[in-house]
Amino acid sequence: MEDRPGVDSFEPLRIGEAAPDFVARSTEGMVRLSDYRGRWLMFFSHPGDFTPICTSEFISLAQAFEQFEALECSLLGHSVDSLFSHLAWLRAIHDDLGVTVPFPIVEDPNLEIARAYGMVSAEQDNAASVRAVYFIDPDGIVRAMNWYPLAVGRSVKEMLRIVAALRRTADGECLTPEGWEPGEALLAPPGFNKADALAGPNATEWFYRTMPDKPR
């Protein structure tokens, strides 16, 4: 497990930090996080296999897999349950619900990964609070994250939107407004000096100016 220099290993990750590297067994063989460099990665955790909300999420993620692929974004699941439990859960989803999960799920029985990412504190010995999503750029840097309570299912549509927005704004040339979807108008970065504030014909133009989303 790659350490975070100068940071308590139980402290949650921050946006802009490098995602800690790890090697773990998964439902598709051994996985090293750094092997995903060069692509976007959505690394997401769930508190346990055979749970109703996470089952619904995995069904939706499997159905949206090609949409993530179109965004050049890989998916990697995580749970503290064992590899054997993961495989039995995927078999149940396949046989009873007709869905094949096409992405790997890593095991973390000792909470080593969960603690490195700050999902649990040093005092916790279970994964009840492990429901985090990390959006990691091709250089291995965390660009966004979200956390959900146990009773609320995550939105795969919003996950796709976040990946698309992060990709679109990665060059720093634009911003995405509230609820932005690909193809919709963007926002221009604001000016940061008096000349910019006084130059436009309207008082809001220096900090609120839309621009078309050009095909890329």
Rounded to the nearest 10°, the torsion over CA 59, 121, 166, 106 is -40
CA distances from 27 to 2, 49, 69, 90, 110 (A): 22, 13, 19, 9, 17
Q: Catalytic: 54?
A: yes
Handedness of CA 57, 118, 38, 107 (dihedral sign): negative
- Angle at which helices 52-63 and 156-169 pack, to 10 degrees? 50
> In whole angstroms, what separates CA 113 from the centre of its chain?
15
* List 54, 80, 93, 120, catalytic entry: 54
Could you list the beta-strand ranges (E) of 13-104.
Answer: 23-26, 29-32, 40-45, 73-79
Of 211, 170, 165, 171, the C-alpha closest to 188 is 211
Residues annotated as catalytic are 54
